[in-house]
Amino acid sequence: MRASVTLPEAGAQRSGTPPEPAVFRPDVEGLRAIAVTLVVLYHAGVSAVPGGYVGVDVFYVISGFLITGLLAREIESTGRISLRGFWARRVRRLLPVSTIVLITTAIATASVYAGVDRPSVGADIRAAALYVSNWRFAANAVDYLGADAALSPVIHYWSLSVEEQFYLCWPVLLVLLTRLAGRRWLPVVRVAILLIGIGSFTTSVVLTRSEATSAYYGLHTRAWELAVGAALALWGRDVARLVSRRLAAFLSTAALVLIAYAALRYSTSTPFPGSAALVPVLGAAALLASGARGVAPGLGRLLVATPITYVGRISYAWYLWHWPVLVLLRARAGTSWRVDAIAVTASFLLAAISGVLVERPVREARWLRRHAGSTLALGAVLTIVPVLVVGPVLAAPPVRHRQPTSITQASVSIRPATRDVVLAMTPTGATGDIGWVQNGCYGHVYTPSAPSACTFGDLAGKSALVLLGDSHAAALAPAVIALGRLRDQRVLVWAKPGCPFIDVPMWYVEQNRALIECTAWRSNVLALLRGSGEIDSILLARSWFERTRVRDRSGGALSDEAFGRAWAAATARMLVTLAPLARHVYLVADVPAAPSSVPRCVSANLDDVSRCNFSRQAGAHPDSALLREEAGPARVGHARFVDLTPLLCTATVCPGVTSDGLIVYIDKNHLTRTFSASLGLLLERAIAQATASPPTR
């Protein structure tokens, strides 16, 4: 049954699927070529285009323009929108190459990636096949641990998911609006697109400041870019009347200048999309407007050169191929300009071959063009095949291991594993062995306040043991909770990703702004501490890796010397603040860090997991040296310094895997829940040693 709308004033009805747009715009092909080239160069690490990611925004404007123009012409010529026909054309255009790239990527990933990373890539491919990868990547990127996850070879499919969601929603909305409006469909649709554009742009600006990841990946924050293109299509005749030859020349030149400015001047530190996306979006819109009456003179003529329009013609396939080829070749051969050049060239050739062997034959197949139902059935098959394939292809290989015995604090071994050790957990199990406190006690990066109900350990204990800090403190929480049970104490835990509990302003590098939520959260936790009853000890744990987030007031990077002074002075101020709140205050040194993800190393070295042990000298952090050398003679509260490194490592080696077969880290610097929970007694010993030493000065 055809899903359509009939308008009283429409001309004669036509049967079958309406044709594609009759007017070919070679300058649009040229604009596609610019967009895809910017994205490819950016992903290939070409430093000259640090903002090349704006090519995606150019694509969105083009899609909104072409799709809305197609649907509007269909309404004018047939009086209805055939959803079956529209979606059938999208299937023929998009899914064949997309499916081939996904399946090829799955097979290549199985031969390149360590087993521990394959299931995650498989989930990414399933999300891409089902048009929801933008939401999957948004959810994962919010996780602080996402930075250490394997780089997905299909992360670029997020932008296709946004477009595919647009293809699903926008025609349906047009059907509803035109059915309600009848002969006045065009003014109603114009108002709707304005409201959608204004609402989406406002949402994008607001969320880019507070929820940058959601803003980057979301349809709700990108819809305005598609709406700009749609508006150009809906006001197409008016634009054509207004654009003179001279104005067209100006617009085409201004368009390329705007897009070039964004590509050359923006970077990963630019808050995006938000208002910054206006520059490339308006550039793309200006270029489309300049060609409303034919190819614009001036720079616009450059876009219709045959080599450029050819790149535009294969831009979709090139976009699909370039990222998995880059990522997988880098994983196999390392990162260098030669590797990237080979990857870019290979992906271009694959795109050209795909156009000849796949895209064009499927798009022009007569039997598919005649039968929308057959095309939609093919689309269902092309959607489900990658979903079914990735399970067996990217399943984590079986790993010989035993179930860990019950942990006793007295028997835990922290000796590094030898070659013949039997693992007590799989690498995949280790990556998910996160025992951090819940109920908001491990706060979100954007949360400015903390919940009061963050009590663990012996809930009936009269005195409290408090743990404060960032994600590395959260990873120590199982050890501190175990210590609380040994002492019959309540354990209060407040931790926040990227927010060390010291009196230093943090900078949100990804959004190029001060992380004011961190400062507010610390103040809130201090207020909660003052009302928490008797506190025996406060443990302050921080990650040394936060040094990249400590900036000057304008966000500029600090030298090592300046950072050392700022870090130590901020630590000293916080220790003085905490001193009156507890009998003892302890500064816990950061745990040693492995050179790379330990589960990934174990997965790649199952024949000899001792290769995943690492040098103590390389992994230890200079917290104690910083505090001694930079704090000077001033008394720092009555704090003691607790260093677990001598207890976790031998004189030369730190374990990635223990002699009991426990994998120590979920990545390269956060402890697994199982290992952390085993450290209660060792932590007690370290604290006892620190208590016997003079206070930190």
For position 565, which CATH number holds?
Answer: 3.40.50.1110
Q: Look at residue 374 and tell me if it is in a domain.
A: yes
Q: Identify whether residues 306 and 441 lie together within a single domain.
A: no
3-class state of residue 434 by DSSP? coil
Q: What gap in Å lies between CA 34 and CA 307, rounded to an integer? A: 12
Task: Say how many Å lie between the first and final Cα of the chain, rounded.
Answer: 81
Q: Identify whether residues 353 and 448 lie together within a single domain.
A: no
Q: Identify whether residues 488 and 389 lie together within a single domain.
A: no
**pLDDT of the residue at 637:** 57
Q: What gap in Å lies between CA 318 and CA 507, rounded to an integer? A: 36
H or E segment and range at residue 637: none
Q: How many residues does the chain have?
A: 697
- Our separate counts of H helices and E strands in the chain read 28, 10
Q: Look at residue 652 and tell me if it is in a domain.
A: no
Q: Identify whether residues 452 and 341 lie together within a single domain.
A: no
Q: Identify whether residues 381 and 440 lie together within a single domain.
A: no
Sign of dihedral through CA atoms 674, 430, 149, 592? positive
- List helix spans (H) across 79-218: 83-112, 118-129, 133-142, 157-181, 185-210, 212-217
Q: Look at residue 661 and tell me if it is in a domain.
A: no
Contacts of 381 (CB under 8 A, 6+ apart): none
Contacts of 128 (CB under 8 A, 6+ apart): 98, 102, 154, 157, 160, 161, 386
Q: How far is CA 126 from CA 80, 102, 133, 384, in A?
A: 34, 9, 8, 9
Q: Identify whether residues 684 and 569 lie together within a single domain.
A: yes
Sign of dihedral through CA atoms 82, 88, 89, 90? positive
Contacts of 645 (CB under 8 A, 6+ apart): 589, 591, 592, 616, 620, 654
Q: What gap in Å lies between CA 494 and CA 521, rounded to an integer? A: 10
DSSP state, 671? B
DSSP 387-452: HHHHHHHSPPPP--B-PPPPP-TTT---SBP-TTPPBSS-HHHHHT------TTSB--TT-----S
Q: What are phi and psi of 126, to 5 degrees?
A: -60, -45
DSSP 307-329: HHHHHHHTHHHHHHHHHHHHHHH
Q: Which of 393, 416, 445 is the last residue of a domain?
A: 393
Q: What gap in Å lies between CA 349 and CA 341, rounded to an integer? A: 12
Residue 493, strand partner residues: 467
H or E segment and range at residue 638: none
Q: Look at residue 663 and tell me if it is in a domain.
A: no
Residue with tokens 């720092």: 636
DSSP state, 641? E
Q: Which tokens is 361 given?
A: 């034959």
Q: What is the pLDDT of residues 648-662, one digit of tens each?
A: 899 999 999 998 899
**pLDDT of the residue at 10:** 35
Q: What is the pLDDT of residues 79-94, one digit of tens each?
A: 889 999 999 999 999 9
Q: Which tokens is 253 given?
A: 């030149």
Instruction: Tell which residue, 119, 173, 658, has the closest CA to residue 432.
Output: 119
Q: What is the pLDDT of residues 175-202, one digit of tens each?
A: 999 999 888 899 999 999 999 999 999 9
Q: What gap in Å lies between CA 453 and CA 472, rounded to an integer? A: 21
Q: Which of 364, 393, 422 is the last residue of a domain?
A: 393
Q: Which tokens is 670 given?
A: 């956060």
Pairing of the two strands 614-615 and 653-654: antiparallel
Contacts of 447 (CB under 8 A, 6+ apart): 440, 496, 517, 521
Contacts of 678 (CB under 8 A, 6+ apart): 407, 409, 412, 479, 482, 662
Q: Which tokens is 643 given?
A: 């260093």
Q: At what angle do helices 55-78 and 219-234 cross, to 10 degrees?
A: 50
Position 451: which residue type?
A: P
Residue 491, strand partner residues: 456, 465
Q: Look at residue 581 and tell me if it is in a domain.
A: yes
Q: Identify whether residues 40 and 175 lie together within a single domain.
A: yes
Q: What gap in Å lies between CA 507 and CA 609, rounded to an integer? A: 38
* Number of domains the chain is built from: 2
Instruction: Tell which residue, 273, 277, 226, has the closest CA to residue 62.
Output: 226
Q: Identify whether residues 184 and 70 lie together within a single domain.
A: yes
Contacts of 443 (CB under 8 A, 6+ apart): 450, 494, 495, 496, 497, 499, 521
Position 60: which residue type?
A: Y
Q: What gap in Å lies between CA 442 and CA 455, rounded to an integer? A: 12
Q: Identify whether residues 327 and 469 lie together within a single domain.
A: no
Q: What gap in Å lies between CA 491 and CA 485, rounded to an integer? A: 9
Q: What are phi and psi of 665, to 5 degrees?
A: -125, 150
**pLDDT of the residue at 50:** 94
**pLDDT of the residue at 407:** 57
Q: Which tokens is 469 given?
A: 């800090």
Asked if 99 contacts 385 with a C-beta cutoff of 8 angstroms, the reply is yes
Residue with tokens 């019959």: 488
Instruction: Tell which residue, 670, 570, 588, has the closest CA to residue 630.
Output: 570
The 10 Å Cβ neighbour count of residue 528 is 16
Q: Identify whether residues 557 and 469 lie together within a single domain.
A: yes
Q: Identify whether residues 355 and 471 lie together within a single domain.
A: no
Q: Identify whether residues 483 and 356 lie together within a single domain.
A: no
The 10 Å Cβ neighbour count of residue 520 is 14
**pLDDT of the residue at 436:** 83
The 10 Å Cβ neighbour count of residue 565 is 16
Residue with tokens 């302050």: 540
Classify residue 663 as left (phi > 0), alpha (psi -120 to 50) or beta.
beta
3-class state of residue 467 by DSSP? strand
Q: Which tokens is 65 given?
A: 């323009």
- List helix spans (H) across 579-651: 598-604, 616-619, 623-631, 645-648
Q: Which tokens is 497 given?
A: 């990703």
Q: Look at residue 668 and tell me if it is in a domain.
A: no
**pLDDT of the residue at 299:** 77
Domain range for 535 is: 434-592+623-646+673-692
Residue 494, strand partner residues: 468
Position 673: which residue type?
A: R
Q: Look at residue 642 and tell me if it is in a domain.
A: yes
pLDDT less than 50: residues of the chain: 1-22, 142-150, 629-635
Sign of dihedral through CA atoms 46, 51, 56, 60? negative
- Could you give the dihedral angle defined by the CA atoms of residues 115, 120, 126 and 131, in that order, rounded to the nearest 10 degrees? -150
- Could you give the dihedral angle defined by the CA atoms of residues 552, 558, 562 and 565, in that order, rounded to the nearest 10 degrees? 70
Q: Which of 341, 360, 393 is the last residue of a domain?
A: 393
Asked if 507 contacts 501 with a C-beta cutoff of 8 angstroms, the reply is no
Q: Look at residue 617 and tell me if it is in a domain.
A: no
